[in-house]
Structure 1
């Protein structure tokens, strides 16, 4: 089941210039690298990572908390 309302996913879509999460996901569904966001509560760092990234290292806070938008949405 897809989750298009997760607050971090909404922030990620907005940071990438999208008003709608669905448009963000449609544009990145088949890309080899996709926008990801740090899932730590006090960090919203974004980066381009693998579509299936679940625990990448955040360059801003140093935690293994980077997750791709596709994973957050439940597409992967």
Structure 2
């Protein structure tokens, strides 16, 4: 897998020590560990992205009676 190169400067030494320890505990190199962290972060939407997606959806019309019926149906399980 060919990828881009990312260089991060001015990383706090205590933070780096924690990351190295976690990488070692997972049996990974520091690069692999940080790459996985970056992938997980990029793969998950931010709260703002989720809110924007929800705001773009069509609203659902629900009245009090609909809510009561739903609650009653769930309670009858």
> What is the TM-score of this pair, normalised by structure 2?
0.31
> What is the TM-score of this pair, normalised by structure 1?
0.31
Name which one, 1 or 2, has greater alpha-carbon Rg.
Answer: 2
More strand per residue: 1
More helix per residue: 2
Return the structure number with greater relative CO, CA threshold 8 A, min gap 6: 1
